Amino acid sequence: MAVNSDVYFVDGVRTPFGRAGEKGMYWNTRADDLIVKAMIGLMERNPGVPGERIDDVAIAATTQQGDQGLTLGRSAAILAGLPLSVPGFAIDRMCAGAMTSVTTLAGSIGIGMYDLAIAGGVEHMGRHPLGIGADPNPRFLTERLVSADALNMGVTAERIHDRFPHLTKERADRFGMLSQHKVQAAYDAGLIQPDLVPVAIKDADGAWGLATEDEGRRPETTMEGLAALKTPFRPHGRVTAGTSSPLTDGATVSLLAGGAAAKELGLEPKMKLVSFAFAGVQPEIMGIGPVPSTEKALKKAGLTIDDIGLFELNEAFAIQVLSLLDHFGVADDDPRVNPWGGAIAVGHPLAASGVRLMIQLAAQFKTRPDVRYGLTAMCVGLGQGGSVIWENPYFDGKKRK
């Protein structure tokens, strides 16, 4: 087993994302069944990978209780039919759970301890709203370590508007509208559907159906409609439902491999890991977290922001993405940024979202041999950011008009 192996993103799939709550399509579906369905779909798409060769399974969830508890990586591996010899574990880094699943297992592959691994995340926000059942230590408030509303993500988004007044509500509204339009255009072109694993669902009357598309899309969104929305996090505020990711249920999963294993099994990796980094910021303005994590990841890779040809940034809130773009001097509507839209339209099932970013970046890489490097980045509750830089194996060095 080679030490210091290259790490490859071989493949990734996800369930369609559903609206959280009683009216959402997954209300009668268990969280663990969502991740199991995604894992089965992943293995079916990669028949050349023997199940017994998987060295570990890491599955993230933010609220690890009920049907999202019980050491998810291990329980999901058993339920998905992997051999009992395959171990697994659970991860929690709130919104960056799946991203951390990938980077954690990538580290094990990179130092030669693992050959193949499965990394992903699931969040059933209908069954498990953010923070439910949590008992924050009273020292957070008594010692003023964290603001009382630091876990109200909408309030943290309003604070970014406060800090950067030139990032106006109108700019955020336009970003939110374009996200909806770009996702629908990607759907119309058949770009997103190939990586979705259909899920059998049951409605309130017991009738069965099939979830095949993301449920929360609003392609009819207009600037006029967004301007009229309420600002639920602050009177006369700037953050609305139209510039926020909706509460969402869904699961994502990926297959990672070291260089020797990929060659041995004849796998065709979709991306190569270049660098990753996580960083901490004040919890009250958690949305700026990807700025320092991206700076760290770029430094580790010996790259600059100008080397990044595609950005997949998690749209927890429009203002959060705008603050990163503004910091690095990237235009709001730069075509490199979220070309197929993002979480404002498809949803943000917390711990699952990191791998959704990777799935979309990988699909875009194949169609963009002129692009060498891409970035997946996201903000994280309690004041963190996560960033992963990837290299395109299809890069041919030719610039295109």
The percent of residues in the chain predicted with pLDDT above 90, rounded, is 91
In angstroms, how far apart are the furthest CA atoms of the chain?
60
Full DSSP string of 329-387 = T--TT-TTB-TT--HHHH---GGGHHHHHHHHHHHHHHH-TT--EEEEEEEETTTEEEE
Length of the chain: 401
Domain ranges for the chain, please list them.
7-127+246-390
Q: Tokens in use for 197?
A: 């694993």
Average pLDDT on 251-262 reads 98
User: What is the percent of the chain where pLDDT is above 70?
Assistant: 99
Residue 239 CB neighbours (<10 A): 27
- Which is the CATH superfamily of the domain at 7-127+246-390? Thiolase/Chalcone synthase (3.40.47.10)
pLDDT digits (tens, 9 = 90+) for 277-294: 999 999 999 999 999 999
Active-site hit among 124, 128, 161, 348: 348
- What tens digit of pLDDT does each residue of 28-83 get? 999 999 999 999 999 999 999 999 999 999 999 999 999 999 999 999 999 999 99
Q: Distance between CA 99 and CA 92 in Å, rounded?
A: 10
Given the residues 95, 124, 128, 161, select the one marked as catalytic: 95
Active-site residue, 181 included: no
Residue 128 annotated as catalytic? no
42: tokens are 């992943």
Contacts of residue 381, defined as CB under 8 A and 6 or more positions apart, other chains included, come to 62, 94, 95, 130, 151, 153, 283, 286
d(CA 271, CA 388): 11
User: Quick one: pLDDT at residue 204?
Assistant: 81
Q: How many CB atoms within 10 Å of residue 188?
A: 10
Give the C-alpha separation, 259 to 394, whole Å: 16
Q: Identify which of 264, 245, 268 has the alpha carbon closest to the alpha carbon of residue 344.
A: 245
* 236 is a catalytic site residue: no
Q: Give me the catalytic one of 124, 128, 161, 379.
A: 379
